[in-house]
């Protein structure tokens, strides 16, 4: 049978296709009940509370969506400049030895699984929250008065149920989207920086030489010539980063928790505890060691965040591919 | 009629002058003053650099709310900048320097009115005021340092390029420092508990409530991690290599479809994989009860009386879904390896009448082997560290290991030890950080091995047609 | 006396290999110098030393003076504002024609915006391109033919008012008509600019240049006025090279 390689590779190649289709189908089918029973109106509402916790069940997923978007914005706006700086430094300014060492270090860092970042979130809490030089990290230093409340008003009204952890234990109490975003950017930088560096190295040398020959300095050449040529590569790096941030569960879970109780007010408030779609979905499906947030044995609502994530991922891929193609055509080497 | 062909003499003259002398400082009248003011750039650089360092320290250590002190540094730095510009006749920049000064003053006022802590609506997150101060300080001191450096280096165009170094180096140093802090603290917290007992003992439910908490260990989880990695590799390798070969060696819509879905498997989040795994298990549970399929997919365990109970998910299911994560990595690596094969070798073997299968086994695969190995190693590292996919289908591994037993892994232990039921965390909570440290060691060794392989075989491509 | 290049005892080495072995040469201002020689003789290296665009690993010793200024110790960016370069393959930027011409001007700064239009027109006119593109300055430079692109590159270099223009086989990628237009623009530059042209086409060298330098194996074998070198060269090697190339050109 001379054609056995074709047959073998074809059958192997069809597996990802069928699996992908099956997965998408299962999510769509499973979430169908949620749409029929609960309805799109409530699902896009901003109220979210579980039967178990507060007696009434509202499954508004808008806070979760906002959480995902906020995380994306914070993580990428931190990761992109730092990755750009690393890539520019390694590709254009540093001696090649330094560039190689950096590349290896980044390769190593990219092997750190997200759960480790999640676990170590705590080491980043103290720098933001509590001054160290004023004394010990104890309750006495983090007093309600310093925050603007009088002790009698504490805890402030409509604070979610687990906020009792703070402020009486400052070493354990940061649940903000900001912290999660910082950790996510640390997760994503080792993936983005080498891609951007490759894009910079692949810029054709003729325009760069022409620019230098005209008396433009290296920085001017970098900004006006090299970066525009590398733009399509940068966009694909950003796409990878965005997909990783969108789909992350562990960091969000450990830092922010798994329920977005309210829509952040004001919407850009990143110091809020707004769980993203992944964490909310995990909370609805259960298995986190705490009672799951929806009460039927098989709640269809749990699949709706997954569906939304799928749609968002596809949208990101499509949009960035369009942009990438446009820039690649314009700056074809 | 075109313009005259006379070269603009004035422009030429300007070029020649600027080539001879860099920025010439304004004449201050007395030679003593001139000499004294020659030291101005260095002073300005010193002040800005100190302000920058204070800002970085403040960012990472969070000092005693010295916002007045720190912003004072910003003010001084921008004043130095203004003096530099005035001194060096750089009128275009004066506005910029004045703006910086005004911005610093505004920042002081705003910071004075900010409460010591800024918090979200429900006080879930807190930021100390000195963080804002540090950031403002950084934003002002960094450009000032760069500009002062420009003047120190002689104010030539090359000096302008060199003076951008701090701009690039600072984010790199700060972020590398952040990674180092994480790793260091992980070792600090995890190493003490990483005893031989911890590795060789195993967790079992009879330890719950027992006084012999130090009898518990991570053995099952460690072995579970290796079992998962092995099973995932076994499944993902043939499929990944096959897919890679198919995409590279064939053209047409089917190949493109396969390539697209392989990369989409990677693009959709691990969470979706986890949800699919969960729905598969649940579907089996609902419809298959206690049949063979349930054993395969959900796993089972035997309780003390010997009765069979379905588990949350078997190693087999976990390995299958983890391999979905790893297949695209291996496929991509195979693709790269195949594409790098010089076309003359490929055509040569075809000219000699080799069949496709022969070419595949003897030429294509051996050539791509380093790439495939690298992909496999990196994929295995990812499989070892993945928690999300396993989240809904893993357990504590207390009943042993095998394809049909309940899945568990070191990564899952990290999650469970913090978030699991109290009975579990009481016994195993102590191992959260040591499990993380162990996992990191495993992942790092795999990654280092993969990087080493890449390095070793990279020369092959650089030289073009030299085959090792 | 603007645009005098004096090369004294220049040596260039890449690692252990010496590529240029001691050259002494003076290029008179406002003239065109053609540099010819067999492949690998160091012509391009010599050219690139004049505007310090050699590979970073090159070690240059000796003196290269531009109007008495030491170019090897000068800031290279400032040097390149006085010495422009046109490359073998036309490499316009993916911008509009106007932006291409103004690129160097904007990069250096110090010019008022009101003069931009004049600079564009003057530079394109000097490169013999103005008539062809004056109606579509906003079009992308990539829409021009290769010959027009090369002249655009010349205009781009002229816009920053250099004293010297270096050309590395400028007509190599062009068809005969565009080559002729290119040579016309080079001849038009005489008197106002010092031009150094490296070329394989010795007929072009003869047509265009005032002086010719013949390089072989990194050494300057012959240098003199073009007609003199072509009709009665001192060195037999030069004569053989010129005759051989002329022979092959006429046979082909």
Percent of chain C with pLDDT over 90: 25
B411 and B288 share one domain: yes
Beta pairing partners, B117: B128
**In chain B, how many domains are there?**
2
- Report the neighbours of B using a cutoff of 3 or more CB pairs below 8 angstroms: A, C
In a domain, A30, yes or no: no
From chain B, pick out residues whose CB is under 8 angstroms from the CB of C162.
Answer: 15
Q: How many CB pairs lie under 8 A apart between chains A and B?
A: 322
C14 bridge partner residues: C17, C58
pLDDT at C149: 92
Residues 6+ apart with CB under 8 A from B104: B71, B74, B75, B78, B136, B140
Supply the range of the domain harboring residue B128: 17-186
Nearest to B271 by CA among A291, A182, A288, A238: A288
- Same structural domain, B287 and B320: yes
- Encode pLDDT of C127-157 as tens digits: 888 888 888 888 888 889 988 999 999 999 9
User: Helix %, strand %, coil % for chain A, to 5?
Assistant: 70, 0, 30
- pLDDT value at position A134? 43
Query: Does residue A49 lie within any of the structural domains?
Result: yes
Which of A250-254, B444-448, C228-232 is the least confident region? C228-232
Under the banding of pLDDT at 50, 70 and 90, the label for residue A132 is: very low
SS (H, E, C) chain B: CCCCCCCCHHHHHHHHHHHHCCCCCCCCCCHHHHHHHHCHHHHHHHHHHHHHHHHHHHHHHCCCCCHHHHHHHHHHHHHHHHHHHHHCCCHHHHHHHHHHHHHHHHHHHHHHHCCCEEECCCCCCEEEHHHHHHHHHHHHHHHHHHHHHHHHCCCCHHHHHHCCHHHHHHHHHHHHHHHHHHHHHHHHHHHHHCCHHHHHCCCCHHHCCCCCHHHCCCHHHHHHHHHHHHHHHHHHHHHHHHHHHHHHHCCCHHHHHHHHHHHHHHHCCHHHHHHHHHHHHHHHHHHHCCCHHHHHHHCEEECCCCCEEECCCEHHHHHHHHHHHHHHHHHHHHHHHHHCCCHHHHHHHHHCCCCHHHHHHHHHHHHHHHHHHHHHHHHHHHHHHCCCCCCCCECCCCCCCCCCCEECCHHHHHHHHHHCCHHHHHHHHHHHHHHHHHHHHHHHHHHHHHHHHHHHHHHHHHCCCCCC
Question: Of the candidates B122, B152, B186, which is a domain's last residue?
Answer: B186
Q: How far is A31 from chain C (nearest CA, A)?
A: 49
Give the Cα separation of A252 and B391 in Å (integer). Answer: 14
| β-strands C69-70, C58-66 pairing | antiparallel
Task: Identify whether A167 is part of a domain.
Answer: yes
Chains that touch C (3 or more CB pairs under 8 A): A, B
Buried/exposed code over B329-358 (b: 16+ C-beta within 10 A; e: otherwise): bbbbbbbbbbeeeeeeebeebeeeeeebee
The C-alpha atoms of residue A191 and residue A198 are separated, in whole angstroms, by 12
Strands C32-36 and C211-216, bridge-based pairing: parallel
Question: What separation in angstroms does the CA of B420 have from each of B38, B282, B428, B435, C214?
Answer: 67, 21, 10, 15, 84
Place of tokens 């750190």: A112
Q: What is the pLDDT of residue A145?
A: 56
Q: Evaluate if residue A166 carries a pLDDT over 60.
A: no
Q: Does C207 touch chain B (CB under 8 A)?
A: no
Q: From C52, which residue of chain A is nearest by alpha-carbon distance?
A: A213
CB A280 within 8 A of CB A260: yes
> For residue A50, what pLDDT is reported?
63
């062809």: which residue's tokens? C132
Mutate to test the interface with B, among C79, C84, C122 (most CBs of B within 10 A): C122
Residues B85 and B177 in one domain: yes
Which of B186, B213, B245 is the last residue in one of the domains?
Answer: B186
Under 8 Å between Cβ of C213 and C198: no
Instruction: Answer whether residue A198 shows pLDDT above 90.
Output: yes
pLDDT for the residue numbered A161: 41
Q: Do C87 and A210 touch (CB under 8 A)?
A: yes
The CA distances from residue A201 to A6, A209, A226, B393, in Å, are 36, 14, 9, 43
pLDDT of A233 over the 90 cut: yes
Q: Report whether B271 contacts A247 (CB < 8 A).
A: yes
Domain presence at residue B7: no
Domain-located, residue B51: yes
Q: What is the pLDDT of residue A124?
A: 79
CB contact under 8 A, C77 and A216: yes
Asked if residue B164 and residue B255 are part of one domain, the reply reads no
Bridge-based pairing of strands B308-310 and C17-27 is: unpaired
Q: Which of B158, B238, B388 sits opposite A12 (nearest CB)?
A: B238
CB contact under 8 A, B388 and A249: yes
Does one domain contain both B143 and B201? no
| Residue with the two structure tokens 């703006």 | B99
For residues A133 and A89, give the distance between their C-alpha atoms in angstroms, rounded to a whole number: 35
What is the number of domains present in chain A?
A: 1
- Of residues B454 and C102, more confidently modeled: C102
Residue A278 CB contacts under 8 Å (≥ 6 apart), including other chains? A68, A246, A247, A248, A249, A252, A253, A305, A309, B269, B271, B388
**Cβ–Cβ of A217/B282 closer than 8 Å?**
no
Q: Are residues B166 and B91 in the same domain?
A: yes
Q: B438 and B311, same structural domain?
A: yes
Torsion of CA A212, A218, A219, A225, to 10 degrees: 40
Residue A59 in contact with residue A170, Cβ under 8 Å? no
pLDDT at B218: 82
Whether B467 is in a domain gets the answer no
Instruction: Round the average pLDDT of chain C to a whole number and report it.
Output: 87
Q: Count Cβ–Cβ pairs < 8 Å, chain B vs chain C.
A: 61
Name the residue with tokens 């004293």.
Answer: C163
In whole angstroms, what is the distance from residue C188 CA to residue C183 CA? 9
* Integer Cα distance of C66 and B157 in angstroms: 19
How many Cβ atoms are within 10 Å of C63's Cβ, its own excluded? 15
Q: How confident is the model at residue A173 (pLDDT cuts 50, 70, 90)?
A: low
Q: A201-219 pLDDT, tens per residue?
A: 999 999 999 999 998 989 9
**Both B134 and B238 in a single domain?**
no
Question: What pLDDT sits at residue A285?
Answer: 83
Do B276 and B178 share a structural domain?
A: no
Written as tens digits, the pLDDT of chain B (468 aa) is 333 334 456 666 666 555 444 455 666 566 676 666 667 778 878 888 887 887 777 776 654 455 556 666 777 777 777 677 666 665 555 676 777 778 877 887 887 777 767 777 666 777 777 778 778 888 888 888 888 888 888 778 888 888 888 889 999 999 999 999 999 999 998 888 877 777 777 776 666 665 666 667 788 888 889 999 999 999 999 999 989 888 887 778 888 888 888 888 888 888 899 988 888 888 887 776 667 777 777 877 777 677 777 778 888 889 999 999 999 999 999 888 888 877 777 777 766 665 566 666 777 788 888 889 999 999 999 889 888 888 888 887 777 777 888 888 888 888 888 777 777 777 777 888 989 999 999 999 999 999 888 888 766 554 444 343
Tokens, residue A187: 């997760």
What is the residue range of A109's domain? Answer: 35-330
| Alpha-carbon gap, residue B170 to C27, rounded angstroms | 47
- B168 and B206 together in one domain: no
Same-domain status, B30 and B112: yes
Among C197, C207, C185, smallest CA distance to C131 is for C185
B300-302 vs C58-66, strand pairing mode: unpaired
Q: For the segment A270-303, what is each residue's pLDDT rounded down to a tens digit?
A: 888 888 999 988 888 876 666 666 666 567 788 8
Neighbours of chain A (3+ CB pairs under 8 A): B, C
Name the residue with tokens 């004394």: A135
Residues of B in contact with C163 (CB under 8 A): 12, 15-16
Q: Which residues pair with C36 in a beta bridge?
A: C214
**What is the distance between the alpha carbons of residues A82 and A222, in angstroms, rounded to a whole number?**
16
Distance CA C125, CA B5 (A): 8
**pLDDT band for position A8 (cuts 50, 70, 90):** confident
- pLDDT band at A245, cuts 50/70/90? very high
Tell me if chain B has a CB within 8 Å of the CB of C72. Answer: no
A294-312 confidence digits (pLDDT tens): 666 567 788 888 999 999 9
Is pLDDT above 50 for A1? no
Decide the pairing of beta strands C164-168 and C83-86. Answer: parallel
* A89 to chain C, closest Cα gap in Å: 17
Q: How far is CA A261 from CA A53, B278, C109, in A?
A: 11, 25, 56
Question: Residue A142 has what pLDDT?
Answer: 52
Residues of C in contact with B5 (CB under 8 A): 122, 125-126, 188, 192
pLDDT digits (tens, 9 = 90+) for C10-66: 888 888 888 888 889 899 998 999 999 888 788 888 999 998 998 888 888 888 998
Report the CATH number at residue B453: 1.10.3720.10
**Residues belonging to chain C with any Cβ–Cβ distance to chain A shorter than 8 Å:** 51, 53, 77-78, 80-81, 84-85, 87, 89, 91-94, 103-104, 107-108, 153, 156-157, 160
- End position of a domain, from candidates B138, B165, B186: B186
CATH number at residue A125: 1.10.3720.10
Q: Which is more confident, B468 or A332?
A: A332
What is the ipTM, given to two decimal places? 0.90
Domains along the sequence of chain C with CATH: 5-208+226-233 (3.40.50.300)
Residue A177 lies in a domain: yes
End-to-end CA distance of chain B: 65
Q: How far is A84 from chain C (nearest CA, A)?
A: 23
Residues B246 and B138 in one domain: no
The model carries a pTM of: 0.88
């Amino acid at each position: 049978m001379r054609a056995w390689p074709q047959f073998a590779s074809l059958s192997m190649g069809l597996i990802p296709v069928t699996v992908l289709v099956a997965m998408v189908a299962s999510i769509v089918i499973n979430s169908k009940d949620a749409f029929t029973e609960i309805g799109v109106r409530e699902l896009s509402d901003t109220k979210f509370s579980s039967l178990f916790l507060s007696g009434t069940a509202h499954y508004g997923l808008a806070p979760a969506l906002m959480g995902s978007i906020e995380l994306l914005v914070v993580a990428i706006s931190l990761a992109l400049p730092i990755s750009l700086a690393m890539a520019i430094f390694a590709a254009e300014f540093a001696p090649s030895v330094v560039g190689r060492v950096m590349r290896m270090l980044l390769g190593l860092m990219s092997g750190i699984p997200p759960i480790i970042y999640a676990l170590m979130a705590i080491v980043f809490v103290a720098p933001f929250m509590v001054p160290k030089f004023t004394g010990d990290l104890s309750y006495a230093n983090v007093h309600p008065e310093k925050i603007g409340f009088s002790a009698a008003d504490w805890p402030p009204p409509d604070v979610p149920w687990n906020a009792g952890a703070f402020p009486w234990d400052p070493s354990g109490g940061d649940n903000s989207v900001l912290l999660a975003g910082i950790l996510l950017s640390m997760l994503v930088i080792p993936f983005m920086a080498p891609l951007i560096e490759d894009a910079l190295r692949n810029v054709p040398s003729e325009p760069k030489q022409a620019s230098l020959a005209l008396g433009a300095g290296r920085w001017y050449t970098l900004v006006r010539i090299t970066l525009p040529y590398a733009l399509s590569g940068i966009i694909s790096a950003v796409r990878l980063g965005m997909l990783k941030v969108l789909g992350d569960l562990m960091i969000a879970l450990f830092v922010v928790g798994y329920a977005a109780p309210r829509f952040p007010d004001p919407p850009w408030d990143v110091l809020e505890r707004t769980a993203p779609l992944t964490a909310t979905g995990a909370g609805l499906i259960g298995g986190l060691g705490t009672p799951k947030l929806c009460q039927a044995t098989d709640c269809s609502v749990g699949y709706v965040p997954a569906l939304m994530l799928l749609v968002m991922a596809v949208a990101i891929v499509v949009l960035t591919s369009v942009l990438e193609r446009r820039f690649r055509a314009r700056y074809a080497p | 009629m075109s313009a005259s062909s006379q070269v603009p003499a004035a422009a030429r003259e300007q070029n020649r002058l600027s080539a001879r002398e860099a920025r010439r400082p304004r004449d201050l009248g007395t030679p003593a003053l001139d000499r004294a003011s020659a030291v101005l750039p260095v002073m300005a650089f010193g002040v800005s650099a100190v302000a920058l360092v204070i800002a970085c320290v403040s960012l990472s250590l969070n000092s005693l709310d010295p916002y007045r002190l720190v912003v004072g540094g910003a003010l001084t730095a921008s004043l130095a900048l203004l003096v530099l510009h005035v001194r060096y006749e750089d009128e275009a920049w004066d506005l910029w320097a004045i703006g910086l000064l005004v911005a610093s003053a505004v920042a002081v006022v705003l910071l004075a009115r900010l409460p010591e802590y800024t918090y979200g609506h429900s006080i879930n997150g807190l930021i100390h005021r000195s963080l804002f101060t540090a950031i403002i300080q950084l934003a002002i001191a960094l450009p000032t340092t760069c500009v002062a450096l420009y003047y120190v280096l002689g104010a030539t165009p090359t000096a302008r390029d060199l003076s951008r170094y701090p701009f690039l180096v600072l984010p790199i140093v700060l972020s590398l420092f952040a990674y180092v802090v994480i790793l260091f603290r992980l070792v600090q917290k995890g190493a003490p508990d990483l005893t031989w007992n911890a590795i060789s003992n195993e967790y079992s439910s009879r330890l719950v409530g027992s006084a012999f908490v130090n009898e518990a260990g991570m053995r099952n989880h460690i072995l579970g991690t290796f079992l998962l990695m092995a099973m995932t590799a076994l499944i993902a390798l043939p499929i990944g290599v096959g897919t890679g070969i198919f995409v590279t060696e064939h053209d047409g819509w089917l190949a493109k479809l396969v390539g697209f879905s392989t990369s989409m498997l990677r693009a959709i989040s691990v969470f979706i994989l986890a949800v699919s795994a969960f729905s598969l298990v649940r579907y089996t549970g609902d419809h298959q009860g206690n049949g063979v399929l349930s054993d395969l997919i959900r796993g089972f365990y035997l309780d003390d009386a010997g009765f069979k109970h379905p588990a949350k998910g078997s190693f087999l299911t976990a390995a299958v879904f983890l391999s979905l994560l790893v297949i695209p990595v291996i496929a991509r690596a195979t693709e790269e390896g195949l594409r790098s094969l010089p076309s003359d070798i490929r055509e040569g073997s075809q000219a000699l009448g080799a069949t496709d299968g022969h070419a595949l086994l003897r030429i294509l695969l051996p050539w791509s082997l380093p790439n495939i190995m690298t992909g496999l190693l990196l994929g295995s590292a990812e499989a070892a560290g993945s928690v999300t996919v396993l989240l809904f289908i893993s357990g504590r591994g207390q009943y042993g290991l095998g394809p049909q037993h309940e899945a568990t892994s070191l990564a899952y232990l990290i999650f469970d030890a913090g978030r699991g039921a109290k009975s579990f965390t009481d016994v195993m909570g102590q191992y959260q950080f040591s499990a993380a440290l162990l996992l990191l060691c495993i992942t790092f060794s795999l990654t280092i091995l993969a990087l080493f392989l890449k390095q070793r075989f990279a020369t092959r491509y650089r030289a073009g047609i030299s085959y090792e | 006396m603007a645009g005098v290049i004096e090369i004294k005892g220049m040596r260039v080495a890449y690692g252990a290999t010496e590529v240029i072995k001691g050259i002494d040469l003076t290029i008179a201002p406002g003239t065109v110098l053609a540099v010819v020689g067999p492949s690998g003789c160091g012509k391009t290296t010599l050219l690139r030393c004049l505007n310090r665009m050699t590979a970073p690993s090159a070690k240059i010793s000796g003196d290269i003076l531009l109007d008495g200024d030491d170019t090897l110790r000068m800031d290279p960016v400032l040097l390149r504002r006085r010495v422009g370069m046109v490359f073998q393959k036309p490499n316009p930027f993916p911008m509009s024609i106007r932006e291409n011409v103004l690129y160097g001007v904007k990069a250096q700064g110090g010019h008022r915006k009101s003069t931009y239009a004049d600079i564009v027109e003057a530079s394109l006119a000097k490169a013999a391109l103005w008539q062809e593109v004056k109606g579509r300055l906003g079009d992308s430079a990539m829409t021009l033919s290769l010959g027009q692109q090369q002249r655009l590159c010349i205009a781009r270099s002229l816009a920053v008012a250099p004293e010297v223009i270096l050309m590395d086989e400028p007509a190599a990628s062009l068809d005969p008509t565009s080559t002729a237009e290119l040579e016309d623009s080079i001849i038009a530059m005489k008197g106002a600019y010092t031009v150094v042209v490296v070329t394989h086409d010795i007929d072009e060298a003869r047509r265009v240049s005032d002086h010719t330098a013949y390089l072989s194996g990194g050494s300057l074998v012959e240098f003199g006025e073009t007609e003199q070198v072509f009709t009665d060269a001192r060195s037999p090697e030069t004569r053989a090279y010129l005759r051989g190339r002329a022979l092959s050109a006429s046979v082909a």
